[in-house]
């Protein structure tokens, strides 16, 4: 798959696969093509060449809403919550957006409020929540669509250090509790290494490396370019 913008190659022959019941971390420097790849997968952009398949079906020309109904959900870097609506209402919107009736949407929201430990905030306006809880609401809204796959764009951006491990548990629950495949793009390399089953590394629009977190840690090219010569040493590093 490739994508160019006015002659600039954002992606060059990238092949990527995400299975259910796995967490895949996508890392690379700014401009490597990470967000472009997510936009192509979710239908917010179209590839210059190549195809995108969902469940074995070619969805390259499908709009985002149609892909969402087919099982592909996304969270956004800045949350995109409706701040004036309650936590419950925000989560219900995730179900309503894929065609669920109001009663079903409420049942799904109730289940997710418990699963994500948001019950105490159910009637609180989303904008009044701490940042970490807002991130959980974003995940809850995505899960309300009953997705097979969830793509997370910078889900840990702005989280306090104390919020990282609880949020890592949320990511694992998407895979283990809800059975969805998860793709994560984030600059917190330690978080990515902790929660990912495998890592994909992009560099200048191409795949530089792929493998388990341990294999990526030991990859000399990746360590020198993105993780520092000594590998992952801190809680957060530039991807």
> CATH number of the domain that 22 lies in?
3.40.50.300
Has residue 228 got a pLDDT over 70?
no
Report the C-alpha gap between 22 and 20 in whole angstroms. 6
pLDDT digits (tens, 9 = 90+) for 173-203: 999 999 999 999 998 888 999 999 999 999 8
Task: List beta partners, residue 27.
Answer: 201
Question: Does some domain include residue 112?
Answer: no
Has residue 233 got a pLDDT over 80?
no
Question: Does some domain include residue 47?
Answer: yes
Has residue 83 got a pLDDT over 90?
yes
Task: Return the SS3 of 138.
Answer: helix
Question: Does some domain include residue 33?
Answer: yes
Question: Does some domain include residue 9?
Answer: yes
**Domain housing 224:** 1-55+186-239
User: Within a 10 A sphere around the Cβ of 135, how many other Cβ atoms?
Assistant: 25
Q: How confident is the model at residue 220 (pLDDT cuts 50, 70, 90)?
A: confident
Question: Does some domain include residue 115?
Answer: no
Q: Is the sign of the CA dihedral 198, 201, 207, 209 positive or negative?
A: negative
Q: Is residue 49 within 8 Å of residue 2, measured between CB atoms?
A: yes
User: Domain count of the chain?
Assistant: 1
Q: Which of 84-88, 94-98, 151-155, 234-238 has the lowest mean pLDDT?
A: 234-238
Question: Which whole-number Å values give the CA distances from 118 to 47, 86, 108, 133, in the listed order?
Answer: 38, 11, 13, 8
pLDDT of residue 236: 34
Report the C-alpha gap between 25 and 201 in whole angstroms. 8
For 187, which DSSP code? S
Report the C-alpha gap between 187 and 232 in whole angstroms. 12
pTM of the model: 0.87
Has residue 239 got a pLDDT over 50?
no
Has residue 70 got a pLDDT over 60?
yes
Has residue 237 got a pLDDT over 50?
no
pLDDT of residue 151: 96
Q: Is residue 39 within 8 Å of residue 89, measured between CB atoms?
A: no
Question: Does some domain include residue 167?
Answer: no
Question: Does some domain include residue 109?
Answer: no
Question: Does some domain include residue 200?
Answer: yes
User: Within a 10 A sphere around the Cβ of 34, how many other Cβ atoms?
Assistant: 25
Percentage with pLDDT > 70 across the chain = 92
């Amino acid at each position: 798959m490739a994508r160019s913008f006015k002659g600039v190659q954002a992606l060059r022959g990238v092949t990527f696969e995400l299975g259910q019941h796995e967490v895949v971390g996508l890392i690379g420097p700014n401009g490597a093509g990470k967000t472009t790849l997510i936009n192509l997968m979710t239908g917010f952009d179209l590839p210059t060449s190549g195809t995108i398949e969902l469940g074995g079906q070619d969805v390259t020309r499908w709009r985002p809403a149609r892909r969402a109904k087919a099982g592909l959900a996304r969270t956004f870097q800045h949350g995109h919550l409706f701040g004036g609506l309650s936590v419950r209402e925000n989560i219900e919107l995730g179900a309503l957006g894929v065609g669920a009736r109001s009663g079903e949407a409420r049942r799904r929201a109730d289940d997710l409020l418990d699963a994500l430990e948001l019950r105490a905030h159910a009637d609180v306006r989303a904008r009044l929540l701490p940042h970490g809880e807002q991130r959980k609401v974003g995940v809850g809204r995505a899960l309300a669509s009953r997705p097979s796959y969830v793509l997370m764009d910078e889900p840990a951006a702005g989280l306090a250090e104390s919020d990282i491990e609880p949020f890592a548990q949320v990511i694992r629950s998407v895979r283990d509790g809800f059975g969805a495949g998860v793709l994560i793009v984030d600059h917190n390399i330690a978080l990515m290494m902790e929660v990912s089953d495998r890592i994909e590394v992009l560099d200048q629009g191409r795949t530089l490396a792929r493998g388990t977190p341990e294999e990526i840690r030991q990859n000399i090219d990746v360590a020198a370019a993105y993780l520092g010569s000594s590998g992952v040493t801190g809680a957060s590093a530039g991807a």
